Structure 1
C-alpha cells in the first residue's frame, strides 16, 4: 500500500515540508450544512515530527471560478499550533527555570493568537533576564541600559530591547494589540538576547577560548592551571597561565588585585604571595605566587 504524502507545516523545521499520512478519518455532511472534514495524523519526512491535522472544507460556500471549476473554502489547523516561520530555540534547556517558563508561555500565547498577552510576555521575559542577572534599576528602561554597560549585550541590542519595552507598555497600559509581524520581529530580538546571555555562554565553555573578565571565570582557569605545577613552585600569573594569558590580558590588573585580596583574607589557600621580581624577559617586576 502506497503511503499518502502531503505538504504540511512542521513546527520543528519551521516551514512547510513533505509529510506522510500515518492515519486518516473522513467525515462529510450534505444535510443542513454541507462540508467535508478530514482528521489526519502526519509525520514530517525530514525530522519525523508528528502532528495532528484538521482539514475543513466548506462545501456549502463553494463558488465557481470558471465554467468547469469550483473553489471550496478550506481551513487547515495543525496541532500543536505553531508560529509561522519560527523554529524552536536550540539550547532552550540552558535557560534559567523562571526565564524559560516565561519564554514558553510567550510562545504558547503567540501560537494561540493571544497577541496582547504575548506582547506582555516578551517584556516580562526581558524583566526576568534582568532579575536573573541581578541588573537593578527603578524601571526597565534603566535596566536595559545597564545590560549594555555591564557588557551582557551590545548598544545596538539595547536599542532593540527598548522597542520590546515600548510594545509591552502599549499592551499593558493601552491594551493595544500588537501586529503579528511586530511580534515576530520582537520574538527574534528576545530569542537573540536569550541565546547571547545563556545559550552561547554555555556552548562555548571548553570549546572556544574567550576573553575572561569575571573573577569566577579567572579562578576556574587558574585552578586548572595549578594542576600542572607542584607545591613550592613560584611563578607570576603569566607563568601559570602560559599562552592563556591572552584571555585575561585586558582585565589582569583588576583580576589580580582581587586574587591577592582573597589570598590575604584566607579565602584562597592554594597560593601564597611570593617575591616581586622579573620573570624571563619581562620589562617590569611581577608579583610571584608560591603553590601550597
Structure 2
C-alpha cells in the first residue's frame, strides 16, 4: 500500500465529523466457501462464496483511523442478478446507516459531530437540537424535550428504557444553553452521541432495514 491510495469518494469521519477523501493505509480480504454435494463428482463442491473485504482509512484532518468492511454472498442477488454488498463501519463503533434518516435531521446530527473536538458545548447543543427535530418529525407532545421523549416512549416509538437516559439529555442541554463556563468531559459527549445515534437508528433505520431484509427474503424465496 502506498501513500497515493485513497478512498474513491469522500465519507464522514466519525471521529472529527469532517467529510473528506481518506487515505487507505491497509487492506485485507477474507473468503469462506459454502459447499453442496455434486452427484456427478460424488463429492462436496463449492457453490457460493462469502466475501469480506476490510479497508483501514486515515483521516487527513484528525489523523484517526476508520475501519470499513464490505460483505457479500454470491448466493444472494438482487432482482437484476447483481450480488448484494453490505458496507459497515467497524471502527469507530457505530450503529446502522444514516441513509434512512430525514436529511434535515441527518444534517443536524452530522453538524453536531463536526464540533465534537472543537467545542463540546456546541456539540451538546447540536445533539439536543437533533432530538428536538426528531420529536417534531414524530409529532411528539410535551413542552420540554424530556417530556417529548417520554411521550415517544409511551407511544412505543422509542424503547421505554431510553426515556430514563432522557434526563441526561435534558440536563446537559440546559447546562450548555444557559450556564456560563460550562465544560463537558469528552466521555460524556461520546455517550451523548451514542445515545442520539441509538434513537435515530430505532426510529428511522431499523424499521427500514427490516422491510428491506423481508423483501429480499421474499424475492429469494420466489426465485428458489
Scaled by the length of structure 1, what TM-score is found? 0.45
Alignment of 1:59-70 (within 5 A): none
Task: String of CA shifts for 1:143-186, please: whole Å, max 9, x gaps.
Answer: 11101111112221111122112111111111422110001111
The corresponding residue for 1:197 is 203
* Residues 34-53 of structure 1 deviation map (CA, whole Å, 9 limit, x = unaligned): xxxxxxx5534354455455
Helix, strand or coil for the counterpart of 1:45? Answer: strand
Aligned partners of 1:12 and 1:88 also within 8 Å = no
Are 1:137 and 2:122 an aligned pair? no
> Is it true that 1:164 corresponds to 2:162 in the alignment?
no
CA RMSD across the alignment? 3.4
Structure 1 match to 2:159: 154
Contact 2:128–2:169 under 8 Å retained in 1: yes
- Counterparts of 1:200-211 in structure 2 under 5 Å? 200-205=206-211, 207-208=213-214
Deviations 1:175-218 (A, max 9, x none): 42211000111111111101100000101115359xxxxxxxxx
Residue segments in structure 1 that go unaligned for 5+ positions in a row = 5-10, 16-40, 55-76, 210-292
Point out where structure 2 has 5 or more consecutive residues left out of the alignment: 4-10, 16-22, 29-53, 67-90, 216-224
Is 1:114 paired with 2:119? yes
Task: Name 1:91's counterpart in structure 2.
Answer: 97
Moved over 4 A (4+): 11-15
Deviation at 1:98, TM superposition (A): 1.2
Normalising to structure 2: TM-score of the pair?
A: 0.58
Q: Work out whether 1:181 is the aligned partner of 2:166.
A: no
What is the CA distance between 1:123 and its match in structure 2?
Answer: 1.0
Cα distance change of structure 1 residues 48 and 178 upon mapping to structure 2, 3 Å threshold? same
CA offsets 1:71-124 (integer angstroms, 9 cap, x no match): xxxxxx51799xxx63455321100111101011011111x3310110111111
Answer yes or no: is the 8 Å Cα contact 1:52–1:80 preserved in 2. yes
Output the CA distance in 1 between the equivalents of 2:151 and 2:2: 56
Q: Verify: 1:124 aligned to 2:129, yes or no.
A: yes
Is contact 1:153-1:196 (8 Å) kept? yes
Instruction: Give the number of the structure with larger relative contact order, counting CA–CA contacts within 8 Å between residues 6 or more apart.
Output: 2
- SS of equivalent residue, structure 1 residue 122: helix
Q: Distance in 1 between matches of 2:114 and 2:141?
A: 28
In the alignment, is the contact (CA less than 8 A) between 1:161 and 1:189 conserved in 2? no
